[in-house]
A and B are shown apart, each in its own frame.
Chain A
């Protein structure tokens, strides 16, 4: 169902009402037009925003924290239950990345109960992007700057008013709390939104084109066709293996089970983000590693995102958020790597067979 606001109410009224009884995550302004994801007890008008683009922190950190206590040795005491939460202003790149984490942590051999609890207790309120960062390239990986699925509630602002849509049963239920502020959106408003989305998309497509990335290019074929290319060695030459691209990535899900001791000295275990760029990532006890060279580790990151996940899940393990480009101190731009892979790919430029 698509709603809009009654004249008597402002969007803030809806946001304040939705945040009631829930821990709030929303964007707060930050230097250079970037914004941060901030945690609060309620929606703070004037401080919080829905954001024009995605924040610096990846959404995954709310479900798969950088460091998560897993348990104490020989102690099956249950962890404190998580509070109900609401995240405002989720952008499509982040939302789409949850499909990867859901697949890994919910749909495999065993379900991660902490991840499941975090997902179950978090209401996701997405909003359309109203701007783009220099590093954004979601249209090159089959995404678009607005959410089409995976959200509980989507809020899209237009000059004529906002369109509020439920995307799940619990989203619809939450909207019942504010139903008195809403009326069904009319066709004119929806047409305005559709037009606005087309324009937003065109700007992003233009930005991607300037980097040589066109919508619909088969990046799986590009990666696989460029597997033997020199590009991996060339691009990774300046890589310092800091792992920032892994950590900041909205889809990277690898982790380490780390054993240590709790404050009282009792053995305990934590789950920490890990990075496949690290030379020790795949190393076995005997010292062997399937990827001894940095170029291979660098390539492996693209392998996982542009070959493994498309094959296993039918989806790239990259949503075009551009965080890796922003975070890289060697200034490696993922778009340049992809463009070079497209250029070097033997699969995409296969001989027609008339030899």
Chain B
């Protein structure tokens, strides 16, 4: 590591895209390229303010810059949402364990996202779509609160959901006049009516708010997915990102070092797994 430990690599905000009223995608260009794998995270630092952990939403094949899709929800993200293109930030990372994508080869992959959790999943999806013929099938099930709060709205028009190898379905908890799609919680489109899957040997990858992960995991288990094949992006207050500061311990694991991606069987026996 050329940068002193705990200090970020200087970076610039190259572009800011509004996704929803409280979610923006920031394109960050670090002074030194940062190579990451889908599922790994970085610490995004604001000079003199603080830093917070995020998993990039852009393709891991690009290292010159990265996109990070961020909801305004705390002190650091509030400040970040008020920053502009050209402003200086910092990056530490990549950190943690990525999705074990080699284990996914040849199998059917179900991606389940909720709200802003679709950010990390987009990074994975871009990786998968790049080599779609390596996988039996890729299914995406995404839920947002309202049509307005759907992230990556333009992704629907990319044509990914045509051709059969990729099966995409969205739902909103609450619809409005603009919406002619499905209405209901994410779990409502994981039922047999809306999800035709090979659960016994399929892989499920999920990222979203804790409550969605909790009920989503329950649903996947009910559908027959094996605990070791359900991959979850866990979140805690990761601070140092290298397994030292103690904030993100989950049982015998440090989420920053041993995760943030875990299979459900690795973590199932922890009390308060979902912060609820």
Residues of A within 8 A of B (CB): 70-71, 73-74, 76, 104-105, 108-113, 253-261, 267-269, 271, 274, 276, 281-286, 288-291, 296, 304, 308, 311-312
By a CB distance below 8 angstroms, the chain B residues around A296 are: 272
Given A253-B246, A259-B51, A113:B236 Cβ within 8 A = no
Decide: B6 and A260 in contact? CB cutoff 8 A. Answer: no
Given A70-B6, A113-B5, A256:B73 Cβ within 8 A = no
Nearest chain A CB to B127 CB, angstrom units? 23
By a CB distance below 8 angstroms, the chain A residues around B247 are: 254, 256, 274, 281-282
A118 to B6, CA, bound (A): 17
Nearest chain B CB to A338 CB, angstrom units? 21
A281 to B247, CA, bound (A): 6
Tell me which of A73, A104, A267, A285 contacts B52 (CB under 8 A). A285
Tell me which of B76, B237, B244 contacts A253 (CB under 8 A). B244
By a CB distance below 8 angstroms, the chain A residues around B77 are: 285
Decide: B4 and A259 in contact? CB cutoff 8 A. Answer: no
Decide: B246 and A276 in contact? CB cutoff 8 A. Answer: yes
Given A73-B90, A109-B242, A284:B48 Cβ within 8 A = no
By a CB distance below 8 angstroms, the chain B residues around A268 are: 48
Closest to A281 in B: B247
Decide: A257 and B6 in contact? CB cutoff 8 A. Answer: yes
A104 to B247, CA, bound (A): 13
Closest to B245 in A: A255
Decide: A110 and B272 in contact? CB cutoff 8 A. Answer: no
A253 to B246, CA, bound (A): 8
Given A281-B237, A312-B252, A108:B244 Cβ within 8 A = yes
Tell me which of A73, A269, A285, A290 contacts B76 (CB under 8 A). A285
Closest to A101 in B: B244
Q: Which 10 A-B pairs have the closest CB atoms?
A: A285-B74, A254-B246, A267-B48, A288-B275, A267-B47, A71-B7, A109-B242, A290-B272, A259-B50, A108-B243
Decide: A288 and B239 in contact? CB cutoff 8 A. Answer: no
Decide: A76 and B252 in contact? CB cutoff 8 A. Answer: no
Tell me which of B7, B88, B209, B275 contacts A290 (CB under 8 A). B275
A112 to B240, CA, bound (A): 11
A285 to B51, CA, bound (A): 11
Among A109, A253, A289, chain B packs the most CB atoms within 10 A around the CB of: A109
Decide: B6 and A289 in contact? CB cutoff 8 A. Answer: no
21 A-B contact pairs sorted by A residue (CB < 8 Å): A71-B7, A73-B7, A73-B10, A74-B47, A104-B243, A108-B244, A110-B5, A112-B5, A254-B245, A254-B247, A255-B240, A255-B245, A256-B245, A256-B247, A257-B6, A257-B240, A259-B47, A281-B247, A284-B236, A284-B237, A286-B209
Tell me which of A76, A255, A271 contacts B246 (CB under 8 A). A255
By a CB distance below 8 angstroms, the chain A residues around B275 are: 284, 288-290
Decide: B210 and A73 in contact? CB cutoff 8 A. Answer: no
Tell me which of B49, B239, B257, B276 contacts A108 (CB under 8 A). B257
The answer to the question of B45 belonging to the interface, with a C-beta cut-off of 8 Å to chain A, is: yes
The answer to the question of B3 belonging to the interface, with a C-beta cut-off of 8 Å to chain A, is: yes
The answer to the question of B250 belonging to the interface, with a C-beta cut-off of 8 Å to chain A, is: yes
By a CB distance below 8 angstroms, the chain A residues around B74 are: 284-286
Given A110-B1, A113-B4, A257:B249 Cβ within 8 A = no
**15 extra A-B contacts, CB within 8 A, seeds A76-B4, A253-B246, A254-B246:** A71-B6, A104-B243, A110-B1, A255-B245, A255-B246, A257-B239, A258-B50, A271-B6, A285-B75, A285-B77, A290-B272, A290-B273, A290-B275, A308-B249, A312-B252
Given A257-B6, A289-B275, A109:B257 Cβ within 8 A = yes
By a CB distance below 8 angstroms, the chain B residues around A308 are: 249, 251-252
By a CB distance below 8 angstroms, the chain B residues around A70 are: 4-7
A254 to B238, CA, bound (A): 12
Tell me which of B3, B235, B276 contacts A76 (CB under 8 A). B3
Decide: A104 and B51 in contact? CB cutoff 8 A. Answer: no
A269 to B46, CA, bound (A): 11
A283 to B3, CA, bound (A): 28
A312 to B75, CA, bound (A): 34
By a CB distance below 8 angstroms, the chain A residues around B10 are: 73-74
Closest to A271 in B: B6
Closest to A293 in B: B272
